[in-house]
A and B are shown apart, each in its own frame.
Chain A
Amino acid sequence: MRENRQSSVRGTFLRVLLVQVLTLLVLWWVQARYHG
């Protein structure tokens, strides 16, 4: 039960991290492409 909970927390953490990295990559791309 404890292992399931830890694995679920780890999974959530990784999902959120992945989405944030992708979001930041998109913003980075915008900055790089349209840099003055």
Chain B
Amino acid sequence: MHPLNWAVIGVYVAYVLIDGIRRSKGTREIGGYFLANRSLPWWAVGLSVMATQLSAVTMIGTTGQGATDGLRFVQIYFGLPLAMLILGVTLVPLLRGAGVYTAYEYLERRFGPATRSLTALLFLLSRGAACGTIISAPAVVFAAVFAWPLGWCVALIGVPTVAYTMIGGIQAVTWADVKQMVLIVVALVAVVIVLLAKLPVSPDDALRLAGATGRLEVFDLSFTLSERYTLWSGIIGGTFLSLSYFGTDQSQVQRYLAAKSVKAARTSLLMSAYWKIPLQALVLLLGVLVFVYYQFKPQPLLFNPAQESAVVQARGDEYEQLQDRFRAALADREAAARAATADGAMEDFLAGEALVQEIRGEALAMTEDVTGEPAGTDVNYIIPRFVLSELPVGLAGLFIAAVIAAAMSSISSELNSLSTTSVVDFYRRWIKPEGSDAHYLAVSRWTTVFWGAFACVVATQIADLGSLIEVVNQVGSFFYGAILGVFLLAMVPWARGLGAFAGLIVGMATVLATWFWVPQVQYLWYNVIGAAAVMGAGTLLSLRGRRAAG
């Protein structure tokens, strides 16, 4: 990579690290370290909420998804604005008014320590694993593209993040998030502008080509549980996913608990309500434009250079023949694309595109055969490969820095929240209730380091899992519905402690059973199923308990 690109990345990492360490004043006690003494302005919290949610998985995985599948993934966010409105009048004032450090601390007041501990444990397990995935995503890609050891790539992202999170607490995390969000948006907009400028056709023609292949189909109106992304799964399942993630996941809850006031907390969530869908559409559009770009510039047969080397070594002659067919198919497709933009007839272009995808399918099957890794992982390399080979020097560095920024912004919030939950919900609750603030602060810093190390180890161990953005949401959907159900129960007067505890277990079991026995039900619906199962079972058991008590 060009030295200028490295310089851009180096300046960014150094700046974030120094700025984060500088923020450590005001964090001498846990009130400052965990909640910034509830002093943060709404716009900083709002940008931090968005940065926490937008990880490197979005920058690499969702953009790749846009290139291969188009815009329809944006449907998953259609429920988010409604969820933010609901949270603004329910959980936000409830948790702020309770004066708690964590969402799970509130559950003890309502249901007792068992429910609190179980819910907090589910959070630690799911978030800890997710943190590893979020480091792994960019690290695996960097390792393949730069031919670096995976451990180095994990360290490049993980070590500075752990450092400024451990030293500066939530102040460092939030103010770094603000800068990271600005960098991410600037990089995305800059790349889209440069892409549009580099295309040999007008933006209108570019979109016509993309539209012909179905990549601009946003809305799927079919109501079927087995279709992954539909308007209904987005509005209904997506609302439940957002309610749970933004309302009960400590990595988000801690952001608005640190806001100056309830009003500031609400306003910070509204920032996502207004901007999340346009931002996600921009991310997917970038992928769509990269697809169009490769109609006029030869694309690699395989985007993952490490996998390509392995295939060439194992089956070189066969791969060379595929390459020859691919090059011919690309040339035909390009000619057809140019003709289509001139006369509007898309048939030859679509036939050319189908042939290109068929040959790519053969190459992916060969890759899976040779390497044992799932063929779907190639989608995660489309954008990084494009950025490094096609973007001007400097801009490539800016985009890579934005990918690292997206990873850091998510990881730092998660590490901070994992540390908070570990200390407040477990260490202070069960092990040492009477410690001093200085003691808890020291323990918090060490737990941040522990979870950072845990996430880095997980990152080096997990294999490629297909489209990362889908994997992250799938795993989340296993837990989120049931956890949301517990918080919903907390808001109804008839729910009791034993009912909530047992209901949570029933909820998790129901989701697992659905995944195992009814695999055609798509993952977004797990959020609804989990929440409904917990509400139903929790209500029944609570009412039975009340009747038995007389």
Contacts and interface: CB of A to CB of B under 8 A. Distances in A.
A24 B82 CA distance: 14
A15 B84 CA distance: 13
B84 A28 contact: no
B74 A36 contact: no
B207 interface: yes
B217 A16 contact: no
Given A16-B274, A20-B277, A27-B71, A34 B218 contact: no
Contacts of A12: 85, 88, 266, 270
A34 B85 contact: no
B40 to A, nearest CB: 20
Contacts of B71: 27, 30-31
Interface string B338-381: 00000000100010000000000000000000000000000000
A36 B274 contact: no
Interface residue SS majority, chain A: helix
A35 B277 contact: no
Interface in B236-279: 266, 270, 273-274, 277-278
Contact of B277 (A23, A31, A33, A34): A23
Contacts of B278: 23
Interface in A16-30: 16-17, 19-20, 23-24, 27-28, 30
A15 to B, nearest CB: 9
Interface residue SS majority, chain B: helix
A31 B217 contact: yes
A13 B218 contact: no
Given A20-B81, A27-B71, A28-B218, A36 B346 contact: yes
A26 to B, nearest CB: 8
Identify which of A13, A35, A36 gathers the most chain B CB atoms within 10 Å of its CB. A36
A23 B84 CA distance: 16
A31 B216 contact: yes
A1 to B, nearest CB: 14
Interface in B79-128: 81, 84-85, 88-89
B212 interface: yes
B221 to A, nearest CB: 11
Contact of B208 (A20, A31, A34): A34
A33 to B, nearest CB: 8
Contacts of A13: 85
Given A23-B277, A31-B218, A36 B211 contact: yes
A35 B89 contact: no
Contact of B218 (A20, A30, A36): A30
B85 A16 contact: yes
A2 B535 CA distance: 30
Contacts of A17: 81
A27 B78 CA distance: 12
Interface string B428-467: 0000000000000000000000000000000000000000
A24 to B, nearest CB: 8
B464 to A, nearest CB: 31
Contacts of A28: 218-219
Given A27-B218, A36-B213, A16 B84 contact: yes
Contact of B219 (A20, A31, A33, A36): A31
B281 interface: yes
B149 interface: no
Contacts of B207: 30, 33-34
B346 A27 contact: no
Nearest to A36: B212
Given A9-B89, A27-B74, A16 B218 contact: no
B273 A16 contact: yes
Interface in B199-242: 207-208, 210-214, 216-219
Contacts of B213: 36
A23 B85 CA distance: 17
A36 B212 CA distance: 4
A28 to B, nearest CB: 7
A27 B216 CA distance: 9
Contacts of A19: 81, 273-274
B81 A30 contact: no
B544 to A, nearest CB: 36
Contacts of A20: 81, 273, 277
A25 to B, nearest CB: 11
Contacts of B84: 16
Contacts of B266: 12
Interface of B: 71, 74, 78, 81, 84-85, 88-89, 207-208, 210-214, 216-219, 266, 270, 273-274, 277-278, 281, 346, 350
22 contacts: A12-B85, A12-B88, A12-B266, A13-B85, A16-B81, A16-B84, A17-B81, A20-B273, A20-B277, A24-B78, A27-B74, A28-B218, A28-B219, A30-B218, A31-B211, A31-B216, A31-B219, A33-B207, A34-B210, A36-B211, A36-B212, A36-B350
Given A30-B207, A35-B216, 4 more contacts: A20-B277, A23-B277, A27-B218, A35-B217
